[in-house]
Amino acid sequence: MHYHLILGILCWPVVLMGQSRLPQAITLFPVRAGTETFYPQSPPSADSVVYLASSLRQGESGTKADPLSLTLEQSLQRLNHTSPALRMSDQLVGMARAERERLRSFWYPMLQASGAYVHMSQSVEVRQSLKPYAQSAKEWLGRLLPTHRTAGASAVGSGSLGTLACLPELGAALESGLSSWLSPAVSSLLEQLGSQTLTFPILSSNLTGVQAQLWWPVFTGGKRVYASRIGRRLVDGAEIHRSETKATLQARLVEAYYGLRLAQRVTDVRYRAWEGMQRHFQQAKRLEEEGMMNKADRLFVQVARDEARRAWETAVHQQDVALHALQVLLEVDESVPVHPASPLFFNESLPPVAYFHQLAGVGNYQANQLSLQESIANERVKMGRSDYLPTVALFGRQSLYTHHLPSHLLPRTWVGVGFSWNLFDGLRREGKIRRARCLRNTLHEGREQVLDELQVGIDRLYAVMQHAQDDVAALHSTIQLSSELLRIRRKSFDEGMATSSDVVDAETMLAQVQVAYLVAFYEYDVSLAALLSLCGIPETFWEYMRTGATEESIMDKEIV
């Protein structure tokens, strides 16, 4: 059988008689969690309440989880290993570095290899009809034969055919027969030749080729220089974003960690106040039974006790909420109670606010990111201007393998230099430059606005820290006075020199002062973490923490 935890806690005061505790009576109200039984011998602190509640839940589920005690440094190390936001920022840094390498690649030549197999419906040939040449030959022969006849006549009279001079009839007959025989034969041959077509094959219908191509820009108008600068700015921006993520996570951890620490300490204060009210109620009830106190005073004490119990239960609920927030942030299982071991602290002295203003002007993450983006926009303006200049590049081509591609038609090696110059593109370059200028001016104005708002934020956080310092200094002595007042009034009440309302007022005042004291510590720590994050120096938080005064020195004192 499982008893609810709150039942066991509420049963402890019932067996408290006067100011003495009866261990043998307390053991009559055990708190069971699964197979384990707890026999409380003294009122629990806030840490033990959390542990018992966790043990009860684990007992019901059949497993047991020990409380996890973590310092703030250990919590930050765990957060840095488990935070998805930090892993995502690391990926963004990797992306920026990859983009930087991509932009650097424009400095190197581009070498490509390509190949293809081509099948054409017919081979590539050069065809030439012989008809014009045959017609020219016929015309030439037509002019040649009469000339030959005249030349033959002169030759007969002058020399080589001189022997025919004596035979004029034979010469005339021979010339006439030769002409009549040559003209039809040559004409027929030329006619046949003119009807033919001369074909020269150039390329086969099946072609194959593999070649390597080189393209190396040697002048781009400065585009590669500006692109390399943009790549470096992108990496710097990603690293600043990662640092900002770490600082933001640290500030969130300080808020959640010390939020749980505050909730536990407030729960402890509220429990002590309720315990004192319960003890005083038992005394008032005994005095009423003895006729030494009227009913109205006893009811006043009872109401105060119930109010103290309600405040304690509210503090326990707030502690559960703070515990869950820290478990989610650190990715700790809900069944494992987390105990913050590092106490709240504060520093008695701080640097002047001008010191933080100066640091924020050069170290604020958001302002630095805007400055980098403004620099990138300025480089884009320069890249837009470089579009007005030509691009000069070396190029070359080498055939690695060819089939049916004669080398005398397609050379195996090409090298050369060329340029391209965009003379008019419809004012696209002008629009690109204007847009980059507007973006640069917008980022500049945004950075100025961020710096102005940053000054206001620093002043506000610094004022909160100063107010917390004043509260701590004032409440430190107030707690001592309230503790002494409560001790005196308890003793006076036991001696009949003080009323119940005096004791109740002293109990209530001490609890309120202690809570305000703890809240002042918490506000100081959270504001300090946020201030250092705004200034870009979150790592100095640990130095402030090591040199600060803690809340344990005065809060752990028992009132006798």
Report the C-alpha gap between 70 and 330 in whole angstroms. Answer: 11
Report the C-alpha gap between 325 and 303 in whole angstroms. Answer: 33
Q: Say which residues have a Cβ less than 8 Å from residue 436's Cβ, sequence separation at least 6.
A: 377, 378, 380, 381, 383, 384
Task: Name the pLDDT band for 406 (thresholds 50, 70, 90).
Answer: confident
Which pLDDT tens digit goes with each residue over 271-281? 999 998 998 89
Report the C-alpha gap between 304 and 479 in whole angstroms. Answer: 20
Three-state DSSP at 206 gives: strand
pLDDT on residue 214: 94
446 is written with which tokens? 């945004």
Which pLDDT tens digit goes with each residue over 449-477? 999 999 999 999 999 999 999 999 999 88
Each residue of 81-118: b (16+ CB within 10 Å) or e? eebeebeebeebbeebeeebeebeeeeeeeeeeeeeee
Report the C-alpha gap between 466 and 460 in whole angstroms. Answer: 10
pLDDT on residue 323: 96
pLDDT at 422 over 60: yes
pLDDT on residue 308: 93
User: What's the topology of domain 109-123+204-219+388-421?
Assistant: Outer membrane efflux proteins (OEP) (2.20.200)
pLDDT on residue 168: 53
pLDDT at 131 over 60: yes
pLDDT at 38 over 50: no
Report the C-alpha gap between 246 and 556 in whole angstroms. Answer: 34
44 is written with which tokens? 């629990």
Helical H segments across 161-294, by residue range: 168-194, 223-289
pLDDT at 540 over 90: yes
Report the C-alpha gap between 50 and 320 in whole angstroms. Answer: 8
pLDDT on residue 502: 87
- Please compute the mean of the pLDDT values over residues 547-558 and round it to a whole number: 72
Which pLDDT tens digit goes with each residue over 44-83? 444 444 444 444 444 444 455 688 999 999 999 999 999 9
The domain spans of the chain are 1-67, 109-123+204-219+388-421, 124-198
